[in-house]
Amino acid sequence: MCELLALSFNLPVAPCVSFKGFRKRGEDNPDGWGLAFYPDKSVQIFKEPLSAKESFLSEFVEKYHKIKSQIFIAHVRKASKGSVYFRNTHPFNRELNGREYVFAHNGTLLNYEKKLKLGRFRPIGETDSEYVFCHLLSCIEERKIKEWGEGDFKWLSSKLRKINEFGSFNCLLSDGKHLFAYHDMNGYNALQFLHRKPPYSEIRLIDEDWRIDLGEEKDPRQKGYIIATRRLTNEEWKSFRYGELMVFKDGELIYSNKRKIIKYYHSKPT
């Protein structure tokens, strides 16, 4: 089935709590795991073609509090297309216009190669996920997007919907500044989001009997959003709408094609 996880916060955070809950999902998705984050303008990716639950590296990542970033993208894989190799393990990354883009996908796409053309970006592995990532980057390059604006968000929403026509499609994308999260237009699987902000209190994980008082662990200035295929904690998670693209920046939700955003993000100058 594969599952997705992403974070967007206003300050660098350690993903230990969310990643602890997410690692458990590797039991049902044993064919690979990966975590991408931005320690600075460059991206760092840890990934392996084995279960996150069995990986010593993923255990280290969970417990190592010095891994911090404003944006994280994670994935646990159950292979539907492409063998269980490192080259087919999410997230994938490429450089475009001096930024490192990262992508992860949940779902299966079919018969897309003739319609979704590639430019200079080419997949290394055999997955539908990496292929559509390369296609998206070519489209972004053709549109000449260097600084994203609201018009570009609307364009991306339309582009993702067209890709979605080839099958089931939930995805996460980031350029190191923005986090883009899209939910399948037919409601395949699920996608949930949580606005985590102070005052913090005790929470518990859904998949195991483990609790933590965030008030004792969190910097009270930290706030942001967590996105996951299924809710990880007993907090107040909400569901994405079918075909919804959400865009986050610095821990704020700045765009949605399906709901009104109180704090608007202004379009770039023309």
265 in a structural domain = no
Q: Read off the pLDDT of each residue in 49-61 and give the average, rounded to a whole number.
A: 94
Give residue for tokens 């292979």. 79
Residues whose CB is less than 8 angstroms from the CB of residue 57 and which lie 6 or more positions away in sequence, other chains included: 46, 48
Collapsed DSSP state (helix, strand, coil) of residue 260: coil
Higher pLDDT, 211 or 269: 211
269 in a structural domain = no
47 in a structural domain = yes
pLDDT confidence of 268, banded at 50, 70, 90? very low
Q: What is the tally of structural domains in the chain?
A: 1
Is the model's pLDDT at 267 over the cut of 60?
no
Collapsed DSSP state (helix, strand, coil) of residue 213: strand
The model's pLDDT over 87-101, given as tens digits with 9 standing for 90+, comes to: 999 999 999 999 999
268 in a structural domain = no
Beta strands at 99-106 and 192-196: parallel, antiparallel or unpaired: unpaired
- pLDDT value at residue 208: 87
180 in a structural domain = yes
Give residue for tokens 């404003």. 70
CATH of the domain at 208: 3.60.20.10
- pLDDT value at residue 263: 63
Instruction: Assess whether 2 carries a catalytic annotation.
Output: yes
The model's pLDDT over 224-241, given as tens digits with 9 standing for 90+, comes to: 999 999 999 999 999 999
Q: What is the mean pLDDT of the chain?
A: 94
238 in a structural domain = yes
Q: Domain residues for 183?
A: 3-256
- pLDDT value at residue 171: 98
The model's pLDDT over 13-45, given as tens digits with 9 standing for 90+, comes to: 999 999 999 998 888 889 999 999 999 999 999
263 in a structural domain = no
Query: DSSP characters for 200-212?
Result: P-EEEBSSSS-EE
- Residue 187 burial class via C-beta count within 10 angstroms: exposed 0-12, middle 13-18, buried 19 and up: middle
Active-site residue identified among 2, 134, 139, 171: 2
239 in a structural domain = yes
The model's pLDDT over 149-162, given as tens digits with 9 standing for 90+, comes to: 999 999 999 999 99
Q: What does pTM read for this prediction?
A: 0.94
For residue 113, how far is the Cα from the chain centroid? 24
